[in-house]
């Protein structure tokens, strides 16, 4: 279906999300930090990026903003998946350029449905 870059530093979350996405027919490319993830995005130009917020080094908010400001990547939707559950966090993520914001832990059906809305 779609090529998705998953930027997530938790090996457990990365494995679970990758399994769900592949089961739904998506191709998944993984990175465990924002810097490597942005490089992957620029090289692969995926249909969507699934991004954690709390990452080593650059945050997911900063990476989302960087993608939104780059002409080569601004068209790629970013879905933030984070433990940061405050409405202010969600508003900030959307302000940085995210297309959607999902609070961890998501249900598999919800995550896949919201991603499919953006890529199908």
CATH number at residue 38: 3.40.50.2300
12 within some domain: yes
Q: Is the CB of residue 61 less than 8 Å from the CB of residue 92?
A: yes
87 within some domain: no
Q: For residue 115, what pLDDT band results from cuts at 50, 70 and 90?
A: very high
The residues with which 80 forms a beta bridge, in sequence order, are 51, 101
41 within some domain: yes
What pLDDT digit, counting tens, does each position of 56-107 carry? Answer: 999 999 999 999 999 999 999 999 999 999 999 999 999 999 999 999 999 9
- pLDDT value at residue 120: 73
pTM, to two decimals: 0.96
119 within some domain: no
43 within some domain: yes
116 within some domain: no
Q: Residue 28 belongs to what domain range?
A: 1-47+60-81
Residues 6+ apart with CB under 8 A from 61: 53, 80, 92, 93, 96
What is residue 68's DSSP assignment? H
Count of domains in the chain?
A: 1
38 within some domain: yes
94 within some domain: no
């Amino acid at each position: 279906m779609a090529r998705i870059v998953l930027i997530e530093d938790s090996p457990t979350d990365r494995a679970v999300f990758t399994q769900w996405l592949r089961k739904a027919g998506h191709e998944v490319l993984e990175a465990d930090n924002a810097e490597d993830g942005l490089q992957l995005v620029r090289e692969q130009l995926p249909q969507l990026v699934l991004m954690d917020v709390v990452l080593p080094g650059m945050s997911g908010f900063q990476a989302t903003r960087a993608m939104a400001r780059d002409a080569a990547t601004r068209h790629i939707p970013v879905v933030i998946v984070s433990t940061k559950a405050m409405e202010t966090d969600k508003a900030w993520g959307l302000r940085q350029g995210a297309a959607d914001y999902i609070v961890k832990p998501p249900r598999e059906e919800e995550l896949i449905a919201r991603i499919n809305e953006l890529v199908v």
